[in-house]
Structure 1
Amino acid sequence: MDLKETFKQVEVLQNVNLNTLKALENYGSLKRIKKGEHIFRDKDQVAVIYIVIEGLAALYKINSVGEKKVIFVFGKGKMLNEVIFQEMFASVNCEVLEEALILCFPKDKLIKIMEKDFELTKAILDSMAIKIRRLYRQLKNTTNSIRGDKKIAAKLWKLSGDYGIKVKEGIKINMELSITYLADMLGSKRETVSRQLKILSEKNLVILKRNEFIIPNREKLNNYFKEP
């Protein structure tokens, strides 16, 4: 896959002008990264902007007692680290969940191109704004006032919307998602999440197979976590 083809898949490049695309071709590069490898780690000095073209990558933090908390999972077309436009160290870890093809741009070169194309600058600001809004929702959903089964329902509803594919039983979350990793996303214990998933399963809101999560009806799942 050449750079021109990859640009068609990148959300922030959809409305940029031709001169911008030509300039980006001069500085862009593609990198294959294996499952389980890190693109960058917390406190790293990062001088490259990364965008997912194929595969999945997760941003996560390690808390004070060594527990993993997954903040975001990103797929095709998503930027991973807009925040490094500031002259600061990386503030999260970025791990590849499924073998990925990553588009890379030197930060300083991308900033120069942004200065000449407001549409590119606006698109990157919009991308960052969406992440911030999602963080606000996550903060709401991680309060102790919300039951664990409802937190799980909300997370599965979001994942089935972002990575869902139609199957016979409903919508399958098309990523390698284990109960352990779902617990990491929620900042909970695996045993707790397993018990709460059983509640959702008994209500036919989720079908659990071996590392597969199927949502029979997303609307019912949505209503479940929104009901008082």
Structure 2
Amino acid sequence: MRNITIWKDIPLFKDLYPEDIEEILPLLRTMSFPKGKRIFDEGEPSHHAYIVISGAIKVYRTTQGREHTVDLLGQGDIFGDMELVDPIKERLLSVVSHRDSVVCVIDGKVFKQFIAQYPSVKDRLLQLQINRLILANEKLHEMKINDAKTRLMLALQKLYSKFGAQEEGRTIINLRLTHQDLADMVGTLRETVSLLLKDLQQQDVVQMQNQKIIIVNPEALMGFAKSE
């Protein structure tokens, strides 16, 4: 995959010159992961960082034998990097391909070389990690001040912004999501999410079909937080 334009769209490499990207491309490799393929598990040794080229990746943790979805990553998102730049030897979370995906795999030593050789990559990585902390704090804040409906709507907004697509004339979130996935993401019970989605369907905001979310009224969805 030597198309420079594709790599320039990756946030981590956005500030690099085309000749810089040409230089590092031989050090990168892409791998295809079919839906459901595990990429790494919590507790495994950390040897690589990853960038999503296409598809969707689920990040989760396991508690008392149950998987709890932490995040869903899309094109351009990086993962597995924290354990390489911090003195952590084991993976903190598990990662699986949520649908057929293509991922760039970067060897840990090469990754550290990038950071040392290209200041813009180091700056971008630092900003991405700061953004993660900000989002984590925002999520904790949302948990404290927002009810389950508001948290669900905010989660749907983020999913729509990242995975929104057109399919057969309909606007959809182009992922298959269970009610439990959504419950994990907003910090509530599956039964609560089921009731809230039923209400949203009755209000013609969304529809559920084969675990896909159809956005019937994008304006109502995206304007929800502003109007509350």
Settle same-fold status: TM greater than 0.5.
Answer: yes
Change (3 A) 1:131 1:218: farther
> 1:166 Cα shift?
3.7
Residue 206 of structure 2 is aligned to residue 191 of structure 1: no
Residues of 2 paired with 1:141 and 1:80: CA distance?
Answer: 24
What CA distance in whole angstroms lies between the structure 2 residues aligned with 1:17 and 1:151?
40
**TM-superposed deviation, 1:131:** 1.9
Letter in 2 for 1:185: M
- Following TM superposition, by how much is the alpha carbon of 1:77 offset from its aligned partner in structure 2, in angstroms? 1.6
Match of 1:103 in 2: 104
- Return the offset for 1:167: 5.5
Cα distance change of structure 1 residues 27 and 168 upon mapping to structure 2, 3 Å threshold: closer
Which residues of structure 2 form unaligned runs of 5+?
A: none
Report the aligned-residue RMSD: 2.3
Change (3 A) 1:87 1:36: same
1:52 & 1:139 partners in 2: Cα distance?
A: 26
Which amino acid letter does the alignment assign opposite residue 96 of structure 1?
S
Conserved? CA contact 1:70–1:187, under 8 Å: no
Matching residue of 2:74:
75
Q: Give unpaired runs (5+ residues) of structure 1.
A: none
1:86-131 CA-to-partner distances (Å, cap 9, x unmatched) read: 1212111111101111111111222122212111111111222222
Using the TM superposition, name which of 176-185 and 113-122 deviates more. Answer: 176-185
Q: Report the CA distance between 1:152 and its aligned residue.
A: 1.1
Deviation at 1:10, TM superposition (A): 2.0
Is residue 165–residue 172 contact of structure 2 (8 Å, CA) maintained in 1? Answer: yes
Higher relative contact order (CA 8 A, sep 6+): 1
Size of the aligned set, in residue pairs, is 226
Cα distance between partner residues in 2 of 1:204 and 1:25: 47
The alpha-carbon deviation at position 170 of structure 1 amounts to 5.8
- Alpha-carbon distance, 1:203 to partner: 2.1
C-alpha contact (below 8 Å) 1:49/1:80 kept by paired residues: yes
Alignment partner, residue 47 of structure 2: 47
Matching residue of 2:162: 162
- Please say if residues 50 and 79 of structure 1, whose CA atoms lie closer than 8 Å, have aligned partners that are also in contact: yes
